[in-house]
Amino acid sequence: MRRLLIRDHVVHVALAAVLLLPLAFAFTGPGSADEVFGDSAARVELFQVLARSSWIGLGATAVALLLGLPAGWALARRPRASWWGAWCALPLALAPSVAVSGWLHWFAPGYVKSSFGQALAEGPTWSPIFSAPGVALVLGLGFWPIVAFETWPAFRRARGEGYEAALLAGSPLRAFFHVALPMARGEWVAGALLVFMLATGDFTVSSLLLVRTLPIHVHDFLAQGRNGAAAWAALPLAALIAVTARVLLRVQRTAAEVHGEATADHTKTCSSSSRWADGMLLTGIVLGFVLPLGGCLDGVLRGGQSIRAAFAEGWDALFVSVRLAAAAAIAVVVLSALRVVFWPEMRARSLHAASLLLLLIPGPFLAAGLLLQSVQAADLFDHMGRAGSWLQNAAPAGLLLCAGYVLRFLYLPLRLTDEALKALDPALLEAAELAGHTRMARGLGIALPQVWGSLLVAAALVFVLTLGELPVAVKLAPPGVLPASVWLFSQQHLGYTESVFGLSLALGGVAVAVLAGTTALLLRWRRASELRLG
């Protein structure tokens, strides 16, 4: 049964437009297209930074595919909720600036020990990591779990009798490349596109490794107050992202159609071991998480300060970030729950597309748009008199920043709840509909209890990603509110002290704790269900 009402689609499109409103506001600031496209030097510079961003995107995608495909294959032998899934998420959960701290500790110790100004004066001769390939490598090592998670369900389906038949006719690697990989083509292409766009729009790693990319070009315009020019500068990247996002959504949709709407795994899975894939999965975790975090730990231990002192300096910033991340996680869960309750039987494609764009657009661009929108809202409140000033005073200090985080990461809960709803047996909702229950009652009574696990995972992911988010935080943090990522970023520009490594380590520790806690909760729930089944 899919009697989709046109009215619901209109509501979705309207909500998507509201979500994208900040991007339109980004064009309203001072500065014009002439500053970006006016003279040939400006055009050449724009082309250079766009090309560099694209190369970084391609390089990161290659690294992510190299590690993510075997990892997805290794995960496919394991249940959906397992410790392996949590460990696999660790490189993604590690804040980019933390990863940079760790890598620089290992590969550019000279740079780490010098102050930023001194290092700059000496020139970029410290290490090959300060290059576009270096940025691509660091990003690829952080983003490979995206490919693994995208391909996981498809590989589970592929590990059926067809793969077993191929195993009888050749080696596991041959069976993987000739049977499993083509069967999961839609999914790994989707993962690759997602990584490409995230890496192309990266600001944090490029900035810390001193590689000038388009997001930094945009950020520089914003720093000069030339918001309009920044928006125009971001336009080529935004267009590239919009086109790739369109392709991505199309690929995801085609993959769902090929394999049927239900993503629940009903197929028999092959239990044959794939040591090479397990090995690549472990390599990915070591390179993407253990080594960078190990670098931070080494940085703390080898520092002159006591360990307590190393952690003490960034403690307040970490506490601020944890509170903001918790608020963002709660907000996205509430929004996703509302989506489930209002539209339990409907895909939210417009919202999906809008939130994907917000995830992929360069962070400074989104932040500038939100800031300009809030300035206009403040002007409006001023005209409203006492009621307006009451509203302004009532808003908490970090509200705008929290809204920025929510917009940035809304794609994750929407995607996860959509996947969970797709996996639901339609008869569950139809039976409730036949009993006369309204759509909201069906959403609240039947759909929501079935997708809470996905909401929990989404909350955990949003929490850890918010902790490390920089471009939005650096622009939207109100006076007196200093999130950990901003504190870390500014300290990293002054020098890599024990405090920098201490906070990096603490951020990594929080990410591990949150992912481990969430997995433990999910596994406990699953075990309780299995016990009830006897």
Cβ-contact 211, 136 below 8 angstroms: no
3 vs 386, beta carbon nearer other proteins: 3
313 vs 430, beta carbon nearer other proteins: 430
Cα distance between residue 298 and residue 109, in whole Å: 12
169 vs 528, beta carbon nearer other proteins: 528
Closest CA to 49 of 273, 257, 220, 294: 220
257 vs 379, beta carbon nearer other proteins: 257
Closest CA to 97 of 399, 367, 476, 363: 363
393 vs 529, beta carbon nearer other proteins: 529
Closest CA to 86 of 512, 420, 409, 510: 512
Taking the complex as a whole, how short is the minimal distance between the CB of residue 422 and other proteins, in angstroms?
15
Closest CA to 10 of 361, 343, 417: 343
Residue 70 has which token pair? 């075997």
Cα distance between residue 345 and residue 424, in whole Å: 10
3 vs 7, beta carbon nearer other proteins: 3
Taking the complex as a whole, how short is the minimal distance between the CB of residue 187 and other proteins, in angstroms?
19
- The residues, ordered by sequence, that sit 6+ positions from 83 with a Cβ below 8 Å of its Cβ are 519, 523
Q: How many CB atoms lie within 10 A of CB 477?
A: 22
The residue ranges that bind other proteins (CB under 8 A) are 1, 3, 257, 425-428, 430-438, 441, 445-446, 449-450, 529, 532-534
Cα distance between residue 232 and residue 242, in whole Å: 15
35 vs 433, beta carbon nearer other proteins: 433
131 vs 450, beta carbon nearer other proteins: 450
Q: Is 234 exposed, middle or buried (0-12, 13-18, 19+ CB in 10 A)?
A: buried
Q: What is the 3-state secondary structure (H, E, C) of 313-337?
A: CCHHHHHHHHHHHHHHHHHHHHHHH
384 vs 427, beta carbon nearer other proteins: 427
Taking the complex as a whole, how short is the minimal distance between the CB of residue 430 and other proteins, in angstroms?
5
Taking the complex as a whole, how short is the minimal distance between the CB of residue 2 and other proteins, in angstroms?
9
Long-range CB contacts for residues 440-449, cutoff 8 Å, separation at least 24: 440/341, 440/342, 442/344, 442/345, 443/340, 443/341, 443/342, 443/343, 443/344, 444/341, 446/344, 447/340, 447/341, 447/344, 447/421, 448/337, 448/340, 448/341, 448/344
Taking the complex as a whole, how short is the minimal distance between the CB of residue 9 and other proteins, in angstroms?
16
Taking the complex as a whole, how short is the minimal distance between the CB of residue 455 and other proteins, in angstroms?
14
Taking the complex as a whole, how short is the minimal distance between the CB of residue 445 and other proteins, in angstroms?
6
Q: How many CB atoms lie within 10 A of CB 445?
A: 15
Taking the complex as a whole, how short is the minimal distance between the CB of residue 459 and other proteins, in angstroms?
19
Taking the complex as a whole, how short is the minimal distance between the CB of residue 523 and other proteins, in angstroms?
17
